[in-house]
Every structure is written in C-alpha cells, then in structure tokens.
C-alpha cells in the first residue's frame, strides 16, 4: 500500500514512522489501527489463497513464516526468563531462524507445568492477566495458561470464507450464522435442570463469536432428545455447523434416518476430536453439504485445515512452525509417523517453542512453509457404555475444564470393566476436596453411571507418549470402535 505525503510515495510503514512523531496521539492510534487492519486483510487474502490451492505455499509465504519465527526467538531471548540462557537466539533472522530453533530443547505439558513462571513473557505478563486458556480435557492432563491469540481472528475468518464462499461479516449478519456442538451446558433462568425439563439443549453465545451464536450440548444427544435438536436447527437454519465430530455424526445419522432436517447448511467443520474420512463422508451425506476438518490446540500453537471431505491437513505458516520428529528428536521422512512438535506465533505472553503437542501424525511433506499431515494418529475416539450398552462419547460429556474441580486435577484416566460403571483414576493436587469428588459423581450420575475413585501417584503413558483418557475393557466396545474406524 502506497501513501502520498508532500508529493512523495511512501509505504505504509514509512508513512507511519514519518507522521506519528508530529500528529496527535489519538490520531496516531487511529493510523496504527488502520495499518493493523490492512495487514490483517492482506494476511486473510493470502490464507484464503493457500486454502484454495490445497496448501501449496510459495517462497513469499515461507519468508513471512521465517520472519515471524525470527521475531519470536529474538523476543523470547530478551523477555522470557527461561530462554535468556540461549543468547544465540538474539541473532535470529530469516536465514538462520530454523537452525537456531532446532538447538532448543523440546518441551511438553509436564515441562511447562514445572517451569511455568520462567516461560512467561516478563514484559507482557502480570499477576492480574485477564485471559486464560485451559487444555487437557481429552488427554487427561489439565493445564491452564495465559493467552494472547493474535492470529486466531484472521485464520477463522479465512476458513469460514473458504468453506462458504461468504465473507465472515455476512455470515454473522445471519441471526444464527454459526452453531457449535460442544460440551457447554444448557441453561434456563440460570438452571440446567430447568432447561432440560423444557427440552432446551442449547445455550446462546455473543452474536459475533467465531465459534457460534448457539452452542448445542453434545452431552444429551440421544434418540429421545435429537428430535428437539433438529427442530431447533430447522427453526434457525444456520449457515455453518461446527464442533465435535461424534456429536455432529450422531446428528447426521438421525437426520438421514428420519428425514426431518428441513434445510441444507453451507458447510460443516469438525474439530476437537479425531474424525476419520469415513465419518466425514457419512456426515456429508446425512447433512447434504461439504465437511471440512480444522485441527489445532487451545494452546494456540498451530492451525490446520482440510479440503472438503478430506482427511489431509495443512498447517498454516502464518500461525506457527511445525516439525514431525521421531522418538529421538530427529525429523521423520515423508510418509513416516512422528511427534507433532510446534512453535506458535499466536501467544506472545506465554510462547510455545518446540512444544510437543502430544499428537502422533503422519508427515506428508512441506512446501513454501506449509506442513502437510497425511494422517492424524494420536487422537482416538473415547467412549464409555451405560448399563444398556448405549455408547457415550466422553468429548462433550466429560470435559474436565468445564467443571469447577479441574484446577485440582493433575492427571486422570477413566477405566471401564463393566457397562454402567467406571473407575476414575486420579492424580490429585493438595487442594482436592470431597466437594470435587461429589462433582465428578454428579457428572456421571446424569448419564446413570456409577463411579469409583482410585487415587494414584502417576498414570503410565502410551508408547506414543500420551495418557489414554479411557481404558476400555468391554469387548463389544472394542469391536464397535474397530468397525467405526475402518
């Protein structure tokens, strides 16, 4: 963008530097805001082009990725206590940033927990920091951290435009442009029980929310309740349905069997849990629309997407830099499976640098800074069974970060040996109380499940380095899962 001043053509950056010194402060802030908006618009257009090209990056996208990585490393060396011990990071530039990054140790949730104070930006973080993220609901290892998602806005807007062909502002002008199937609990007059008595299984969200103006609770999906879900969807006719893949799959199967869905959404996008290609295709048939996958983390370290009805994911070079490493920390070859290790550009207040996501993925190559994942291997489906052998997905039902007790849990695992009963294996903190145990009891009781507790010092990891959220010993469940994933 060129701006004329005193007869000279200046770039946006030159204009800002030359004028900010002699225009009023409020005007300088307005100029800064306009420049930031213009930068976001350029990035959104570049992202949209990447998505439409199925992840074919260019030299320009790689250069931008390297510029952001170098800036992150320099800032970490100057402002993040832990990374001050690596003074070579101060010399990071677009040529050497990847080589310098590879000299750093790989971190994980346990490391972050142990060093959380020294991993926070000493300039940006303070004790009253307002925005926090919570993760670990699907891995059994809760973690809380300060957040500053500077890239999320642009990526979500580009994804919605890619899926629907509509600008995001036009989508949110629709009263219910986006709805989400997730673990949020329904409320009526502040009471969940009143909502359930009135057959209300949803909760309103702000009108400009990226994640939906209405949240449908996946906790209560059943043959008896799904007609109420469909009735509400027919009433509001959303443009995009997003959220937990198992919840949307249940909706699609019911819609296909009953023929009661009276509209066609423009798109579905599944997130938060693994969705095999067969499930994507079934959702697409049941709801008569394309299905997209979105892959990321609450930590804000990477952002991936798929083409319609595809299980190949592309990771944005504008959001972070990703590596796929073997157990010894070496890069894997194309077609091989390894640990997804990410360095995110989105959270400056607590940067995630060479952070092991906990997921195992199949490396599909890299082009122009865009990492291709030809398969997700580390996210499985977690189910338990009630006394009638009805399958209950834990994502959306047992989301620990929605419970008050989640800060008092270090790690947990759910084991099932018989229908209708579970063993809740728990590594607790010193602040765990009987009230916390009662809250877990109540959550399972809502699904008519008995729960017993086993307090342990640690929970063993799988060969992939993760804690299994569920240990399922019911053979029918194992056979069912195997058939579902074929």
The full DSSP string for 38-63 is: HHHHHHHHHHHHHHHTTS---HHHHH
pLDDT band at 479 (very low <50, low <70, confident <90, very high): very low
Domains held by the chain: number: 2
Inter-axis angle of helices 152-164 and 25-52, to 10 degrees?
40
Query: Which pLDDT belongs to residue 272?
Result: 79
User: Between residues 205 and 480, which one has the greater pLDDT?
Assistant: 205
Instruction: Classify residue 417: in a domain, yes or no.
Output: yes
Rounded CA gap, 27 and 33, in Å? 10
Query: DSSP state, 251?
Result: H
> Rounded to the nearest 10 degrees, how much is the dihedral formed by the CA atoms of 333, 275, 350, 55?
50
User: Between residues 354 and 27, which one has the greater pLDDT?
Assistant: 354
Instruction: Classify residue 219: in a domain, yes or no.
Output: no
20-34: average pLDDT = 65
pLDDT band at 298 (very low <50, low <70, confident <90, very high): confident
Query: DSSP state, 369?
Result: T
Query: Which pLDDT belongs to residue 128?
Result: 82
Q: In which domain, by residue range, is 5 found?
A: 1-52
Query: Which pLDDT belongs to residue 374?
Result: 92
Residue 34: pLDDT above 60? Answer: yes
Helix (H, G, I), strand (E, B) or coil at 20: coil
Query: Which pLDDT belongs to residue 398?
Result: 67
Which of 247, 225, 347 lies closest to 297 in space, CA to CA?
Answer: 347
379-389: average pLDDT = 73
Helix (H, G, I), strand (E, B) or coil at 158: helix
Query: DSSP state, 278?
Result: H
Instruction: Classify residue 466: in a domain, yes or no.
Output: yes
299-309: average pLDDT = 93
Query: Which pLDDT belongs to residue 26?
Result: 63
Instruction: Classify residue 233: in a domain, yes or no.
Output: no
User: Between residues 186 and 321, which one has the greater pLDDT?
Assistant: 321
User: Between residues 55 and 240, which one has the greater pLDDT?
Assistant: 240
- Of 241-255, 304-318, 345-359, 460-474, the one with minimum mean pLDDT is 460-474
Residues 191-242 pLDDT 10s: 888 999 999 999 988 776 788 889 998 878 888 899 999 999 999 999 999 9
Domain boundary among 52, 75, 95: 52
Instruction: Classify residue 405: in a domain, yes or no.
Output: yes
Which of 347, 286, 343, 336 lies closest to 317 in space, CA to CA?
Answer: 343
Query: Which pLDDT belongs to residue 484?
Result: 39
What percent of the chain has a predicted confidence (pLDDT) above 90?
52
Residue 485: pLDDT above 80? Answer: no
Rounded CA gap, 486 and 463, in Å? 22
Instruction: Classify residue 220: in a domain, yes or no.
Output: no
pLDDT band at 244 (very low <50, low <70, confident <90, very high): confident
Residue 483: pLDDT above 50? Answer: no
Which of 205, 181, 187, 192 lies closest to 270 in space, CA to CA?
Answer: 181
> Could you tell me if 92 and 73 are in contact, meaning their C-beta atoms sit under 8 angstroms apart?
yes
Burial of 270 per CB tally in 10 Å (0-12, 13-18, 19+):
buried
Which of 251, 261, 235 lies closest to 396 in space, CA to CA?
Answer: 251
Token digits for 309? Answer: 């009805």
Query: Which pLDDT belongs to residue 337?
Result: 87
Residues 325-344 pLDDT 10s: 998 999 999 999 899 999 99
pLDDT band at 318 (very low <50, low <70, confident <90, very high): very high
Rounded CA gap, 232 and 216, in Å? 10
Domain boundary among 28, 52, 76: 52
User: Between residues 6 and 80, which one has the greater pLDDT?
Assistant: 80
pTM: 0.76
Instruction: Classify residue 118: in a domain, yes or no.
Output: no
- Which CATH number fits the domain that encloses residue 409? 3.30.300
Instruction: Classify residue 324: in a domain, yes or no.
Output: no
Domain boundary among 33, 52, 71: 52
Residue 416: pLDDT above 80? Answer: yes
Query: Which pLDDT belongs to residue 371?
Result: 96
Report the mean per-residue pLDDT for the chain. Answer: 85
Strand-pair partners of 426: 412, 455
Residue 21: pLDDT above 70? Answer: no
- Of 40-44, 68-72, 223-227, the one with minimum mean pLDDT is 40-44
């Amino acid at each position: 963008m060129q701006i004329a001043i005193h007869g000279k053509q200046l770039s946006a950056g030159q204009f800002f530097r030359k004028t900010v010194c002699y225009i009023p402060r409020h005007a300088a802030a307005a100029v800064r805001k306009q420049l930031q908006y213009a930068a976001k618009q350029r990035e959104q257009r570049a992202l949209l082009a990447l998505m439409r090209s199925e992840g074919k990056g260019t030299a320009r996208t790689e250069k931008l990725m390297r510029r952001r990585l170098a800036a992150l490393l320099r800032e970490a060396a100057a402002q993040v206590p832990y990374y001050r011990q690596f003074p070579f990071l101060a010399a990071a530039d677009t040529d050497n940033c990847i080589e310098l990054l590879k000299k750093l140790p790989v971190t994980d949730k346990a490391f972050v927990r142990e060093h959380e104070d020294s991993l926070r930006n000493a300039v940006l973080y303070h004790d009253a920091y307002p925005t926090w993220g919570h993760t670990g609901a699907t891995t059994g290892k809760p973690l809380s951290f300060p957040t500053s998602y500077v890239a999320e806005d642009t990526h979500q807007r580009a994804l919605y435009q890619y899926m629907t062909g509509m600008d995001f502002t036009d989508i949110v002008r629709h009263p219910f442009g986006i709805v989400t199937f997730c673990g949020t609990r329904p409320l009526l007059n502040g009471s969940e029980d009143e909502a359930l008595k009135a057959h209300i299984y949803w909760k309103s969200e702000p009108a400009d929310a990226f994640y939906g103006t209405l949240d449908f609770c996946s906790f209560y999906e059943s043959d008896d309740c799904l007609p109420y879900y469909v009735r509400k969807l027919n009433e509001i006719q959303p443009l995009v349905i997003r959220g937990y893949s198992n919840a949307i799959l249940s909706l699609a199967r019911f819609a296909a069997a009953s023929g009661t869905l009276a509209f066609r959404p423009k798109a579905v996008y599944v997130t938060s849990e693994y969705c095999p290609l067969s499930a994507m295709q079934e959702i697409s048939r049941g709801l008569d629309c394309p299905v997209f996958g979105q892959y990321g983390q609450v930590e804000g370290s990477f952002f991936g997407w798929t083409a319609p009805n595809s299980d190949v994911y592309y990771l944005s070079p504008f959001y972070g830099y990703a590596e796929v490493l073997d157990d010894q920390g070496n890069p894997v070859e194309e077609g091989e499976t390894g640990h997804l290790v990410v360095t995110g550009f989105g959270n400056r207040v607590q940067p995630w640098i060479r952070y092991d996501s906990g997921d195992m993925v199949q490396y599909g190559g890299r082009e122009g800074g865009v990492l291709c994942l030809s398969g997700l291997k580390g996210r499985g489906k977690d189910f338990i069974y009630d006394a009638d052998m009805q399958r209950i997905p834990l994502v959306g039902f047992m989301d620990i970060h929605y419970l008050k007790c989640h800060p008092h849990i270090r790690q947990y695992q759910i084991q099932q040996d018989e229908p209708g009963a579970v063993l809740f294996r728990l590594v607790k903190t010193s602040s765990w109380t009987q009230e916390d145990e009662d809250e877990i009891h109540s959550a399972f009781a809502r699904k008519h499940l008995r729960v017993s507790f086993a307090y342990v010092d640690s929970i063993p990891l799988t060969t992939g380095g993760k804690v299994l959220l569920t240990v399922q010993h019911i053979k029918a469940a194992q056979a069912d899962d195997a058939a579902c994933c074929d």
